[in-house]
Amino acid sequence: MCYRFELLEFEDCLFENVDATYILHLEGNGRIDHIQEQLKIYHPSKKVYIVYNKGYKKCEKELDKQTSGHDIIHANITVFEHAQQYKHVLVLEDDFIFNKDVAKHATHVDNFLKWDASYVYQLGSHPMFFAIPVDWYHYRIHGTLGHANIYPFSSRKKLMDDFNNGKITGYLGGLDSYTRKVLPLYMYHKPLCYQTFPMTENKKEWYTVKESNFAPIHVMVVNTFISCTNLENEPEPGFTILYWIAKLIPFLLLLLVLWILYHFVPIFHSIKLKKRK
């Protein structure tokens, strides 16, 4: 068996509308103590599964490619298959770090999850420099990161079907590289769950991915940002800066459009009047 599920049950939880949480843990990577420390403070749902993954190097799996990224995809699909009795599940990677103020914002997350639709809700995201507000608290994004995602049942079924039909291939970066192409993504207006970006096997694969989002220039920009904000070691201020950039760019584009309309529409109108004369 490549996976082992350990169930923990709590009387209280952060998110009432999350039926179960699955924490993906690669055995032997030294993060089990971190998981236990987080769970002493935060109970994301009343049922929490720690999913012990032996990894593709120690347990033979039918992967599209024998890489860390494809192993993460396989682990997510395994969780979805296990979680078919639940409506909403939260999938955490074992480097997750909850924002210390997450409990203050949990009600807004729960209210969003009442929406009966197919989507992915990211408790922490890299919103790809573009976030569009959909209400006072939430943004529609074209984001990445898979360390803290909430999946409704219909979204999980869509991803399982696509995986079984061989559609999720070539996505070395992880499931998030595919998810944003087929499902709408949403995030809270501030990061509620972080991760850091030390050099790992999965991060090394960023340099080999041929998709446009991991093109050499993009990788260079991302790694420069990670270094400048110390995201290798600390989640803040890097995450907050990412969120502010993503929220600011649409506003600046709107101002640019208004500026163009203000300056050029009168000119076009004047030209038309002259032609009539």
Low-confidence ranges of the chain (pLDDT < 70): 170-173, 199-218, 265-277
Give the CA angle between residues 133, 172, 25 to the nearest 5°.
85
Q: What is the dihedral of CA 207, 208, 211, 215, to 10 degrees?
A: 30
Q: For position 129, which CATH number holds?
A: 3.90.550
**What pLDDT, on the 0 to 100 scale, is given for residue 212?**
46
pTM score above 0.85: yes
Q: What is the pLDDT of residue 203?
A: 59
Give the CA distances from residue 33 to residues 29, 37, 50, 197, in Å, rounded to whole numbers and listed in that order. Answer: 10, 6, 12, 18
Residue given tokens 């569009």 in the structure block: 132
Residue 47 and residue 20 in contact, taking contact as beta carbons nearer than 8 Å: yes
What is the structure's pLDDT at 220? 77
pLDDT in tens, 169-179: 765 567 888 89
Over residues 196-210, the pLDDT tens digits come to: 988 666 656 655 555
Alpha carbons 115 and 137: distance in angstroms, whole number: 14
Give the pLDDT confidence score for residue 165 in this predicted structure.
93
Sign of CA dihedral 112, 116, 121, 127: negative
What DSSP element (H or E) covers 90? strand 88-93
CA atoms within 13 A of residue 18's CA, in its CB half-sphere: 31
User: CB neighbours of 215 closer than 8 A, spacing ≥ 6?
Assistant: none
Count how many domains the chain has. Answer: 1
What is the structure's pLDDT at 87? 98
One-letter amino acid identity for 37?
A: E
The pLDDT score that the predictor gives to residue 133 is 93
Q: Which domain holds residue 37?
A: 3-276
Identify the residue whose tokens are 């070395």.
172
- DSSP letter at 131? E
